[in-house]
Amino acid sequence: MSDIPETHPRRASLLSRQKLVDAQAKGMLANSALIAHGRGEAFDYLLGEKTTSGARNAAQEVLARMSNAKNPVISVNGNTVALAIEQLLLLADKIGCPIEVNIYYRTPERMNALLNHIEEVRSHLGIDVLILGSNPDGEIPNLDGPRAKCCSAGILNADAILVPLEDGDRCEALINMGKEVFVVDLNPLSRTARMATICIVDEISRAVSVMLEMDCSAVKVNPDFDATSSRDAVLDEMLDALKRNQTEA
């Protein structure tokens, strides 16, 4: 894959696919991970694989709220670790919060593979971020099965949670716990995107890179931030892309 020319128009997309293939081989991913990624790619295609101004505004608001929270936490799953763990570790370091591994299709083997990989990247970066998930001592109320397991030092007692590529049920359960739930989802129509306190409609590694470029002390919480309009703005860009193509056809 390293032989993809720098100028290849879909280079970033091909490199992301390879990251997932590599993570799959290491046992980090759910069986359906590549299907989930494919759905995301279809929406990203409509965005021209670029961060829109609407997504940038949402990312800024999320950074402000995570930086202002008492107990913020970043929750990661298989796809998120495969695609963006380096950036997410740097973001956790910047905000000063832990990262918790919390996966939908939970097995001890996958948890180990993910925790070991994150620890390897953390130590390579030389930063001091607390990695949680190995010893869950709490449960998200009103959620069935192992996906409810979580840590009291992380998700259970967090007031703000950044949880990219979340599923609708868990997002709803976290909202019902009274938390601010920030998601990253390329599908602006998903239940998760509609249910979250704020959804950044963007590709996960781009969304986090955008937050890394921002200065935490310069971003201020906007209590009137309109999450629906923010999501609609990105949806409009996708619809415009479809219409443009119709006109040109």
Residues within the interface to ligand PTJ (CB under 6 A): 30, 32-33, 36-37, 39-40, 43, 77-79, 83, 103-105, 165, 167, 184-187, 190, 203-204
Show Cβ contacts of residue 67 under 8 Å, excluding neighbours closer than 6 positions.
95, 216, 219
**Which residue sits closest to ligand PTJ, CB atoms considered?**
40
Contact 138, 158 (CB under 8 A): no
Of 73, 156, 77, 150, the residue nearest 118 (C-alpha): 77
CB burial of 113-148 (b: ≥16 within 10 Å; e: otherwise) equals: bbbebbeeebeeeeeebebbbeebeeebeebeeebb
Instruction: For residue 147, give the DSSP letter.
Output: G
CB burial of 24-42 (b: ≥16 within 10 Å; e: otherwise) equals: beeebbbeebeebbeebbe
Contact 88, 208 (CB under 8 A): yes
Residue labelled with tokens 């832990």: 98
Two structure tokens written together for 11 = 């280079």
